[in-house]
Amino acid sequence: MNGVHDMGGMTCYGPVKPEENEPIFHAAWEKRVFAMTMLGMGQLDTLDAFRHAIERMDPTHYLSSTYYEHWLAALEALAVEKGVLTPEELATGVAQETGKRAEGPLPPEAIPAVVQGGAPCNRVEGRLTPRFSVGDQVQARNLNPTGHTRLPRYVRGKNGTIAQVHGTFVYPDTNAHGQGEQPQPLYSVCFTAQELWGPDAAATDDLYIDLWEDYLDPA
Amino acid sequence: MSDDHTHGHSAHDAPPNPYLEKHTTPEQTAALEKRVQALESLLVAKGLVSSETLDKLVETYENDLGPINGAKVVARAWVDPAYKERLLKDATAAIAELGFSGLQGEHMVVVENTPDTHNLVVCTLCSCYPWPVLGLPPAWFKDAAYRSRSVVDPRGVLRDFGLELDESTAVKVWDSSAEIRYMVLPERPVGTEDMSEEELTALVSRDSMIGVTKVEKNT
């Protein structure tokens, strides 16, 4: 969707303001939201669906709230949409039914394996043969889907060059919407700064972005 | 941060944005604490998570992961040319050699700064970041100012951090739009030829591995 999250290229937000000696978390609640999301989200939906739930936030709320408040909003939304919590439970904080899940929650001893093992998104099934090779000229498609996409507006319709073929990866545009992983080739695509931003941009500069095959046409 | 970092830049003059006043008053924080405690009790009652496991995950990200990991990777690459070659060819495997792997670092790419090329990493659509080597991202990496402007005005963003690049230096911006995570291999500062790997590790800052600063030799 063409949401407020798709920020690349805007210049209205002022200078970057680093914080001296910044703590990892700024409040106790941020720690709990981080951990609940990391451990609970996978039982609700995919990472892509989670990102899309953030994108579906009210845009004024999105811009006026912190990062972990985005996570909180998405976690609450998906818990209700997936039927784990009722809206009444969320509003009152009181569980009406205590669901006893067959597997039970993950024990603390499992954390090192979860953190160090990760959740790779490359696949050995799906569309395995890349259509493009390094050096090929491509054009980012002018797509404006109403659902989730990782094709930002600032590259749509622009011409670039395949810089690297990463392999076959889960496709977020379907995986966010319960339509399966539908893995397909992923590329690093190089766009010149002048192609993206016009003749005033530095002729020396380039932008690299990872784009799935269905985002691209031959140029 | 001091005003010096933004002095003379046009973004310094951007008007105050009413949406960017984040919810961080004591009252707002208290309300969030209450809301998050209620959500945790609900998700525990439903059997999705246990509070002990949440504690363990938070401890892991507070204590075991951080930019010291990435600094070790950089220092090793500086002192060991064969390691550097492996790192630039297959970063995920080379980083795992030092014991770092997992969530949000499953597919790593390391890009090298040279005397004539400077790399900068951003995620314009959310805030993707290489957790195993850099830990959790600082707030500025997740804020609108950095996410929006890095792609259109990377040299201006670098000026916000006090780094003025020569016009002849090529800037490469990497927008982490997929599940590939990027880390910058900064240039080794001159005058560090006699330093040990451990001493070099202490020089490498988080910001230099995002690409918003260079590594400086301590004076």
CATH number, domain of B188, equals 3.90.330.10
Reading the block at residue B34, the tokens are: 């209450």
- Domain-located, residue B57: yes
Residue A200 buriedness (CB in 10 A; 0-12 / 13-18 / 19+): exposed
Query: Max alpha carbon distance in chain B (Å)?
Result: 60
Q: Render pLDDT for A56-77 as a digit per residue (tens, 0 to 9).
A: 999 999 998 999 999 999 999 9
φ and ψ at A217, to 5 degrees?
A: -120, 155
- The answer to whether residue B15 sits within a structural domain is no
Nearest to B33 among A18, A29, A35 (CB): A29
Chain A residues within 8 A of B147 when measuring between CB atoms: 7-8
Whether B42 and A89 lie within 8 Å, measured CB to CB: yes
Tell me, yes or no, whether B50 and B111 share the same domain.
Answer: no
Q: Residue B133's closest chain A neighbor by CA?
A: A116
Between the two ends of chain A, the Cα-to-Cα distance in Å is: 25
Contact A64 B176 (CB under 8 A): no
Three-state secondary structure readout of A41-88: HHHHCCHHHHHHHHHCCCHHHHHHCCHHHHHHHHHHHHHHHCCCCCHH
- Establish if A200 touches chain B: CB-CB under 8 angstroms: no
Please tell me the predicted confidence (pLDDT) of residue B219. Answer: 63
Q: Which CATH architecture has domain A137-218?
A: Roll (2.30)
Instruction: Say whether B55 sits in a helix, a strand or coil.
Output: helix
- Whether residues B48 and B153 fall in one domain: no
* Domain coverage including residue B153: 66-210
Question: Based on the domain organization, do B204 and B190 belong to the same domain?
Answer: yes
Gap from A14 CA to chain B (nearest CA, Å): 5
B103–A54 CB contact, under 8 Å = no
Say if CB A172 and CB A149 are below 8 A apart. yes
pLDDT tens profile A33-62? 999 999 999 999 999 999 999 999 999 999
Residue with the two structure tokens 């919590």: A85
The pLDDT assigned to B16 comes to 52
Query: Does B153 lie in the same domain as B133?
Result: yes
Give the sheet arrangement for strand A137-140, strand by strand: A216-218, A137-140, A159-169, A184-192, A206-212, B170-175, B117-122
Token pair of A182, please? 């539908």
The answer to whether the CB of B173 falls within 8 A of the CB of B98 is: no
Rounded to the nearest 5°, which phi and psi values hold at A162?
-70, 120
Q: Is the predicted pLDDT of residue A101 greater than 70, yes or no?
A: no
Residues B115 and B140 in one domain: yes
Give yes or no: residues B139 and B186 share one domain: yes
In a domain, B13, yes or no: no
**Residue B22's pLDDT is what?**
62
Q: Supply the DSSP symbol for A18.
A: P
Residue extents of the structural domains in chain A: 28-117, 137-218
* pTM listed for this prediction: 0.94
- Considering only alpha carbons, which residue of chain B is nearest residue A107? B53
The Cα of B89 is separated from the nearest Cα of chain A by a number of Å equal to 12
Co-location of B111 and B167 in the same domain:
yes
Residues B94, B146 within the same domain? yes
Angle in degrees, CA B173, B179, B181, rounded to 5:
50
Do residues B60 and B81 share a domain?
no
Q: Per-residue confidence at B24, pLDDT binned at 50, 70, 90?
A: confident
With respect to residue B4, please indicate whether it lies within any of the assigned structural domains.
no
**Residue B88 located in a structural domain:** yes
Q: Which residues of B are catalytic?
A: 123, 126-128
Number of separate domains in chain B: 2
Band the pLDDT of A103: cuts 50, 70, 90. confident
Q: Does domain A28-117 have CATH number 1.10.472.20?
A: yes
Q: Do B58 and A35 touch (CB under 8 A)?
A: yes
Contact B22 A65 (CB under 8 A): yes
Among A63, A80, A51, which Cα is nearest to A13's? A63
User: What residue in B sits closest to A95 (Cα-Cα)?
Assistant: B42
Q: Which of A2, A4, A5, A16 is most worth mutating to test chain B (most B CB atoms within 10 A of its CB)?
A: A16
Looking at the structure, do residues B154 and B193 belong to the same domain, yes or no? yes
Both tokens assigned to B52: 């002990």
CB-CB neighbours of A64 under 10 Å: 16
pLDDT in tens, B171-198: 999 999 999 999 999 999 999 999 999 9
Q: Which residue has the tokens 């809206």?
A: A87
Quick one: closest CA in A to B21, which residue? A64
In a domain, B52, yes or no: yes
Tokens describing residue A164: 């690297």
Q: Is residue B190 part of a domain?
A: yes
pLDDT of residue B20: 56
* Residue B102 belongs to a domain: yes
Number of neighbours of residue B196 by Cβ within 10 angstroms: 11
| Closest Cα in chain A, distance from residue B203 (Å) | 16
Tell me which chain B residues have a C-beta less than 8 angstroms from the C-beta of A35.
49, 53-55, 57-58
User: Smallest Cβ distance to B174: which of A28, A100, A208?
Assistant: A208
Q: What is the pLDDT of residues B130-178, one digit of tens each?
A: 999 999 999 999 999 999 999 999 999 999 999 999 999 999 999 999 9
Residues B177, B135 within the same domain = yes
Asked whether residue B30 falls in the same domain as residue B113, the answer is: no
pLDDT exceeding 90 applies to what percent of chain A?
93
Confidence of residue A90 (pLDDT cuts 50, 70, 90): very high
Which residue of chain B comes nearest to A206, CA vs CA?
Answer: B172
Nearest by CB to residue A152, choosing from B47, B124, B172, is B124
Residue numbers in B near A25 (CB within 8 A): 58, 62
